[in-house]
Structure 1
Amino acid sequence: MREPVSERQERILALLRQRGRMRVADLAREMAVSAVTARRDVETLERQGALRRSHGVAIAVNAASGWADSPMEPLVGRGLPVWRESRDFPGPVIGMVVPTAPYYYADVIRGARAAVAEANARLVVGITNYDIDEERAQIRQMQARGVNALLLTPAWPTGTSPDDEADRAAGLSVPTVLVERRGKLGFPVGELDRVCSAHASGSYLAVRHLVELGRRQIALIARGSPTAAQLELGFHAALEHLGVPASAGLVCTTRPRPEFTEIEATLTAVVNRARRGALDAALVHTDQDAVHFVQQLQRHGLRVPDDVAVVAYDDELAALADPPLTAVAPPRFAVGQAAARLVLSRLAERYRAIPGTARAPRHHLDLLPELRVRESCGAGKPA
């Protein structure tokens, strides 16, 4: 009994939904029909808008966004999908929503842009200024314009999703990777892919270095931020592991996005502690605050590193200070690059999904910072 045309064409569409695209000749062979029949079916389905056709290839249509599913090949050694730009498929668009573009996130954006360019895709960036309402508006706008995947840095004060935000990021209709943010365990958002700098490890590196130099009265000075929470975690872990009494450590954290006067007051309080001989080292986030801290120490006759050794956190300006500051450098570029590669692989996985096959495990990637030793801890200082 001959198969009805409608059923045969539905089989074609089912195959394309699984594989994204197929040569018409391969369709004919897999369906056990003649090349003429397969070509005729594909032409009919194209006229109905059910698929697209280009140079003997049938291409599935992503109904959610209107984009044609894309041809992909792995980059050697990376497994990164490559979309070949064509008249029928200009390439996927990856949306990136971040709190701010200057300073820290500038390098994260550059890393994401490099990875997206490798795949012949396009990156669009939305800025939220740490405003949740603006963040929601940016996401809605990107979805309305048909972005195929999202890199998302939500405005979560501690860097971990609050309970009332737990479902929003996890409920988006496109592949989503959290960047420098962590989903709370026990909630759907905790199962999202994420790529973060291991700031706690960076703080540990700094404190370990200071303790190895013989410093025992160490302060952590940090702006209230998602980074600060991780720095404090690593700071206390280092003191405990290295046998430094907790009472010898001092943590000074400002409010989120503090006024300059609040930062100055915090730095002054720590300088006064050093003047009393109750402090001999400090880890300071950010670089800008570390430079101000060194200047205050110098104004009060304290020498760096002789009286107080200083480590900056971020390494944006640290090498330009006087003296040049030892710094912890988070892998900002690599974070953006890894996050973009991960979301591209998830997008490829969605296009290639075959019913009944297991998807790749979710990824929670923590990239380790680097400690760069300079004169503020004694490196290169004349004996």
Structure 2
Amino acid sequence: KSENILVPPDPMARFHLNRRSPDEEFPDLRRNATLMGQILTPAMYRRQFHRCTDSGVIFDDVIRPGLEEPGERCGPVSAGCVAGDAQSYILFCDFFDRVIEAYHKHKVDRSHSCLVLQGSEDLDRSYVLGCEMTIVRSVEDYCFPIHCSRGERRHNKNAGSFCLSFFDLPGQLHLLKDLDQEQQCALKLSPPSQFQLRTGAARDWPDARAVWLSDDNSLVVWINIEDHLKLVTTRHDADVAEAFKFIFLGVIYSQLRHPFIWKQQLGWLSSSPTEVGTGFRVRIKLRLKLLPTQRRLQDVLIRLRLHMVSTGTASTGVYTVSNAGTFGESEVALTQLVVDGVKLLVNMEKILEKNGDIDELVPSQK
């Protein structure tokens, strides 16, 4: 009897779910093109089936997005899963670790280099039109937006507002429920996406959702939109180094006022495994006319570990280049990765303008 007292209670015992056996409940993944669909096996499902986090997240909650949006074989691969809270990454680690490694393509590097950003000052301004940086952070002690309660979301909104009140940068907090359609358009706010609706991140919309905007429009902080906090800084020039310093100043201010969720093996956590590690994205806007028509471009981008999407019409030739992953390297290293990649892409564009051959510039496979 004394030994039983030492055994921690099973959170699943609090529920009386009318479920069958794991084999009977295993989903049909034959047409599933997500990483979840590629990784999940009946044996893995059996191991996760009877587990439950302290806040009530079960494994079926984790994989539901990929079952409702199975993806397409010819399209971009999505993770197909979400975490309801920080404990999900620990309790279901044998599943999440595989998804994270598959999406980010390499294992974590804990060196966190302190190298100074190099080469950003000589980006060619005739091709580079601007840059944007975003950082996602989750606040300690709260479930992620897909699983949190209405009260938790409101508390997190208050915590975010408290952090922002200490910024040196003047700005204003806007509650979504108080904004009319015209004001939402001015702030570039859009209705919840299908993904947010399917995962539950849009529950009770727009209750406790807010956006903080600096007076000079240089910094935007989204609260409870997709994540607890998302900081975005935008510059209409090529000064990547200044954007880097600026956004991390905002992160430091927030972190000093309320701790964020960080785990030793994963880094900074969010509900999506595609954002763990740094939660950091660098986006540089380019004008390219000839390079996008080259058949080897996608191979080049894969080798550079970059994404490139069109953000204009075919006639304008405007594209946005960003880091493909957020995991395994420091924020400085990821920024350097994008800067170096953009310089190579611009160099290729210049060679094509002179009817030259860019094959020799294609990087080796990493």
- Specify if TM > 0.5: no
Answer 1 or 2: higher relative contact order, Cα 8 Å, separation at least 6: 2
* TM-score class, shorter: under 0.3
TM-score by length of 2: 0.25
Structure whose alpha-carbon radius of gyration is higher: 1
